[in-house]
Amino acid sequence: MVNVVPALLPALVPLATLLWIRAADHSLSISRNKWDHEYDYIVVGAGSAGAVVANRLSEDPNVKVLLLEAGGSENTFSDIPLAAATLQMTPIDWAYQTEPQETSCFGLVNRRSRWPRGRVLGGSSVLNYMLYVRGNKNDFDQWVEKGAYGWSWEEVLPYFIKSEDNRDPTVAANGYHGVGGLLTVSSPPDATPISVAFPKAGKHLGYDHVDINGATQTGFTIPQGTVRRGARCSTAKAFLYSARDRPNLHVVTFAYVTKVLFNEFKRAVGVQFDRFSLTHMVYARKEIILSGGSVNSAQLLMLSGIGPRDHLEAHGIPVIADLPVGKNLQDHIYPGGIHFTFEGKYSFVQRRIVSIPNLIAYFASGRGPMTTFGGVEGLGFINTKYANKSADWPDFEIHMVSGGPTSDDGQTFRRVQGFTEEMWQKVYEPYVKFDTFSMYPVMLRPKSVGYIKLRSSSPYDPPIIDPKYLTHPADILSMVDAMKISIAVGLTPPYQAMKARLFETVFPGCEHYRIWSDEYLACVARTYTATIYHPVGTCKMGAPWDPTAVVDPELRVLGGVKGLRVADGSIMPTIVSGNTNAPIIMIGERVADMIKGVNLPRYDGVNVPPGFKRRSNENDIDEFFGDDDFKR
């Protein structure tokens, strides 16, 4: 090592300069150490929805908005897209774990699934894999059928468009995207041959190469992500740093909200929060909006007296409203085990990727392997035999990763996923020296439903999280079929040209099944059961008369409570068919307009949301541009 460092010094000097330039994005703090006694609106949680809500409400200079975040700020390292997994189990992660699972997670330590959640400005948009996926139009229409009026696809699409600044002209011009919004969406600049082969492989199985956020979701694609100039574009970067000069928006970090305060009329009037071992109270003249996510919003409501009566009384918490908070927990999961070796040296092997040339390419020009969305280079929305193929409502989403659990020599992924030593040694350790790629079929609409409960009345005790993975018998059947399709992708000519071969090691506990049989695949799914980090549903939105609902379609808390809303993934009645970050940003956009008393018109392909207009570009292709597009 002593002999290597002098040789690297000439390269480290410009690298340090580039690090300093990148760090300028975070150099001006938006947090403060002083705050007022009272605000018009208090937003709790600065994540994917909360940052949006705070930005949009503070657009009105006549209202004062306070945004409280339990964590601190993102940094230059968290900006690196490929480094997504390494951010888990760090101080910016709540680092939750589920209860031991009865029918899944057999290959994880104590049968617990590890649940990273962002404890930082930008929330989980700082930890996630940045994939920009809106979900399926049928998801939102189904919400309406379940009583969530006002949330149909035609009504929510304008809010997706409002946020978006799509920087790929070939995508932005197709009529389903926005240009000039605050959230940057872009395509990866340097796709590997593994990625390029993915849509071609899909064609061999009958799937078109599509824009999964456009007219048709079913198909294969090289995904777009929330990345700006090669670096992560979190909601903090998109919605908070752009508003940091507003005197009416106050952002306070390291503010851990422990309770919502109510008056004798069940009106939310303020919040209590701890900051650096001191307890404070701050009050809201108009409304309080909880955007803590499906875990924290549910926990905070119950700690404040809103939740199932029997459960709250068992913890000695006075009941404000008897509502089914914490129930209806849904999550997207995938099975491991579908990994391929191949001939070539272009998968994301850590010891090869982390090099001075690649670091300089990333920091200097936003190029190279470090700009990849956590290693995910392909998305395929597929139909198993249990899906209705005529409805364009695929039931699985293949995440194609140009690497696998062995790509970092067992340093990070193995740890954050919680592999048992036995599973690592028997399945993965033999392949540490190989280039690999993986297919992870994500179950989009699981029938297994879990819950979140309080562990105690202390806000510092993590809640009980039990997603009950694979407890519904239908889930394992569809999972096995999706695994077989994923295997078939790797056996198509585009990948066989690379001499792709499935891993031959056998999962512990599955030895007595014939390898690759349905029984073996089911065993693998129950052994390596992984979350894709999309918990939703614990503060369900529904009609006011729905006994299973926690909030109404305007996201106002039911049960006679006033002045309190929830705006994050917890309000989803059913989980969307795709990654959840973009829909949660949409939820933030929509609730802000509801609070302000405005609604964007339905999108029918002709009408355009206010603030946007059609403008012909030099190629006479209609695109959407925000009014201030050319000022940014």
What is the structure's pLDDT at 441?
98
Q: Determine whether the annotation assigns residue 120 to a binding site.
A: yes
User: Confidence class of residue 79 from pLDDT cuts 50, 70 and 90?
Assistant: very high
Closest CA to 284 of 119, 70, 67: 67
pLDDT in tens, 241-256: 999 999 999 999 999 9
pLDDT in tens, 329-347: 999 999 999 999 999 898 9
Q: What is the C-alpha to C-alpha distance for residues 409 and 351, in angstroms, rounded to an integer?
A: 8
What helix, strand, coil percent values describe the chain, rounded to 5? 30, 20, 45
Give the number of other Cβ atoms within 10 Å of residue 451's Cβ.
Answer: 22
8 Å CB contact between 302 and 454: yes
What is the structure's pLDDT at 19?
52
Does the pLDDT value for residue 372 go beyond 90? yes
Token pair belonging to 585 = 């940003």
Does the pLDDT value for residue 619 go beyond 90? no
Q: Following DSSP, what letter does each residue of 454-493 receive, concatenated? A: -SSS-TTSPPEEE--TT-SHHHHHHHHHHHHHHHHHHTSH
User: Confidence class of residue 237 from pLDDT cuts 50, 70 and 90?
Assistant: very high
User: Confidence class of residue 39 from pLDDT cuts 50, 70 and 90?
Assistant: very high
Longest dimension (CA), the chain: 73
What is the structure's pLDDT at 604?
56
What is the structure's pLDDT at 117?
97
What is the structure's pLDDT at 628?
35
Does the pLDDT value for residue 202 go beyond 60? yes
Give SS3 for 413.
helix
Q: Which helix (H) or strand (E) is 268 found in, with range?
A: strand 268-275
Token pair belonging to 165 = 């600044």
pLDDT in tens, 469-493: 999 999 999 999 999 999 999 999 9
For domain 31-74+120-188+233-329+534-601, give its CATH number from 3.30.1360.120, 3.40.228.10, 3.50.50.60, 3.40.50.300: 3.50.50.60
Q: What is the mean pLDDT of residues 101-122?
A: 97
What is the structure's pLDDT at 517?
97
Interacting residues of 214 by C-beta distance below 8 A, sequence separation 6+: 171, 174, 175, 176, 177
Does the pLDDT value for residue 220 go beyond 50? yes
What is the structure's pLDDT at 624?
30
What is the structure's pLDDT at 472?
98
pLDDT in tens, 140-175: 999 999 999 999 999 999 999 999 999 999 999 999
pLDDT in tens, 565-610: 999 999 999 999 999 999 999 999 999 999 999 877 776 554 444 4
**Cross-strand partners of 65:** 41, 249
8 Å CB contact between 441 and 482: yes
Percent of the chain clearing pLDDT 70 (strictly above): 91
Q: What is the mean pLDDT of residues 423-429?
A: 97
Does the pLDDT value for residue 214 go beyond 60? yes
Say how far residue 526 (Cα) sits from the centre of its chain.
Answer: 23
8 Å CB contact between 32 and 67: no
Q: What is the mean pLDDT of residues 381-391?
A: 95
**More confident: 29 or 438:** 438
To which residue do tokens 């008393």 refer?
A: 597
What is the structure's pLDDT at 22?
53
Bridge-based pairing state of the strands 321-322 and 114-115? unpaired
Q: Determine whether the annotation assigns residue 43 to a binding site.
A: no
Percent of the chain clearing pLDDT 90 (strictly above): 89
Closest CA to 587 of 604, 611, 607, 571: 571
User: Confidence class of residue 630 from pLDDT cuts 50, 70 and 90?
Assistant: very low
8 Å CB contact between 268 and 288: yes
Q: What is the mean pLDDT of residues 387-412?
A: 95
Q: What is the mean pLDDT of residues 46-64?
A: 97
Catalytic residues, by residue number, are 534
Q: What is the mean pLDDT of residues 440-448?
A: 98
CA–CA distance from 248 to each of 55, 57, 165, 237 (Å)? 10, 10, 25, 18
What is the structure's pLDDT at 600?
74
Q: Following DSSP, what letter does each residue of 21-79 receive, concatenated? A: HHHGGGSS--B-S---SEEEEEEE--STTHHHHHHHHTTSTTS-EEEE-SSB---TTTT
Does the pLDDT value for residue 293 go beyond 80? yes
Q: What is the C-alpha to C-alpha distance for residues 169 and 330, in angstroms, rounded to an integer?
A: 35
Q: What is the C-alpha to C-alpha distance for residues 440 and 131, in angstroms, rounded to an integer?
A: 15
Residues comprising the chain, all counted: 632
Phi/psi-derived region of residue 334, left when phi > 0, alpha when psi is between -120 and 50, beta in every other case: beta
What is the structure's pLDDT at 602?
72
Interacting residues of 223 by C-beta distance below 8 A, sequence separation 6+: 131, 132, 133, 188, 212, 373, 376, 377, 378, 379
What are the structural domain ranges in the chain?
A: 31-74+120-188+233-329+534-601, 190-222+333-531
Does the pLDDT value for residue 9 go beyond 60? no
- The CATH number of 190-222+333-531 is 3.30.560.10
CA–CA distance from 143 to each of 155, 162, 250, 522, 577 (Å)? 12, 21, 34, 31, 12
What is the structure's pLDDT at 28?
60
Does the pLDDT value for residue 3 go beyond 70? no
Q: Determine whether the annotation assigns residue 225 to a binding site.
A: no
